[in-house]
Amino acid sequence: MCLSVPAEVARILPNDMAIVSVDGVRIEISIALVQDLAPGDYVLVHVGFALAKIDAAEARRTLKLLQELGRAGLETNS
């Protein structure tokens, strides 16, 4: 199953594109499927597309959860 990653919109580009930041790493994605985004908004990103707008608290919770899963995975494999 496909995990999605929360990202903060850094800059809106022409043609329904945007620069987003995933923990400081900037990537260019399509925002064609989500309306009314502005810098500072948070979105769920999956394979180069913004899937949905989420609030900042939700983004933090999801990032924390992914981090915990990552740590649990490392412990399982060590």
Calpha distance 63→77 (Å, rounded): 21
Residue 16 binding other proteins, by CB under 8 A = yes
Considering only 10, 13, 52, 56, the residue that binds other proteins (CB under 8 A) is 52
Considering only 14, 35, 38, 57, the residue that binds other proteins (CB under 8 A) is 35
Calpha distance 48→45 (Å, rounded): 7
Rounded to a whole number of angstroms, the minimum distance from the CB of residue 69 to other proteins is 4
Residue 37 binding other proteins, by CB under 8 A = no
Q: DSSP alpha helices (H): ranges in 1-78?
A: 56-77
Considering only 1, 14, 40, 78, the residue that binds other proteins (CB under 8 A) is 1
Residue 34 binding other proteins, by CB under 8 A = yes
Q: How large is the greatest C-alpha to C-alpha distance in the chain, in angstroms?
A: 46
Cβ burial of 6 (10 Å; 0-12, 13-18, 19+) is buried
Residue 46 binding other proteins, by CB under 8 A = yes
